[in-house]
């Protein structure tokens, strides 16, 4: 629990939410300002800002809930697809500093965009630069 964290307050029942799924480790609820019908947030009950802060068991529980809920939410609202994503860090657009996975149902012709639209200006990387980045990440 973190003081002044909206999502911790939802976990504790201090702030109401439209909860759609709950286990010992995670809770899922409708986004209060949905991008689409059925827009759902899945969060770990333990406070952590970044996905990299989650221990393996909690990360597994979170992803298990996401994989279970994504097709379920999608079929419930009659969507044709879904974007599943995490804004990790302020630079990536994270506004609530408690890790959460967005499940955003998508409908044919809804005017939205793929996840590729979230990036800024695309870098023009040479093969050598790509090799160097891959090597550095793999190290």
Binding partner at 94 among ligand 5GP, Zn ion, none, C-beta below 5 to 8 Å by kind: ligand 5GP
Residues contacting 88, CB < 8 A, separation 6+: 50, 51, 52, 94, 99
Whether residue 100 lies in the annotated active site: yes
Binding partner at 132 among Zn ion, ligand 5GP, none, C-beta below 5 to 8 Å by kind: none
| CA dist., res. 21 & res. 61, Å (int) | 12
Residues touching ligand 5GP: how many (CB under 6 A)?
14
| CA dist., res. 37 & res. 107, Å (int) | 10
Query: Nearest-CA neighbor of 6 among 27, 24, 20, 21?
Result: 27
The one segment of 25-33, 73-81, 83-91, 95-103 that binds Zn ion by CB under 5 A: 95-103
**Distance in Å, CB of 55 to ligand 5GP, minimum:** 21
Regarding 94 and contact with ligand 5GP (CB under 6 A), the answer is yes
Q: Are 54 and 102 in contact (CB under 8 A)?
A: no
Sites of contact with ligand 5GP (CB under 6 A): 6, 15, 17, 29-33, 41, 87, 93-96
């Amino acid at each position: 629990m973190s003081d002044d964290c909206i999502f911790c307050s939802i976990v504790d029942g201090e702030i109401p939410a439209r909860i759609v799924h709950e286990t010992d480790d995670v809770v899922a609820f409708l986004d209060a300002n949905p991008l689409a019908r059925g827009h759902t947030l899945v969060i770990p009950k333990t406070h952590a800002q970044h996905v990299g802060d989650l221990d393996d068991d909690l990360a597994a529980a979170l992803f298990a809930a996401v994989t279970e809920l994504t097709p379920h939410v999608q079929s419930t609202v009659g969507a044709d697809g879904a974007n599943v994503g995490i804004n990790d860090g302020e630079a990536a657009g994270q506004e609530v500093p408690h890790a959460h996975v967005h499940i955003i149902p998508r409908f044919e012709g809804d005017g939205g965009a793929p996840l590729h639209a979230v990036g800024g200006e695309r870098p023009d990387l040479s093969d050598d630069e790509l090799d160097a980045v891959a090597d550095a990440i793999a190290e």
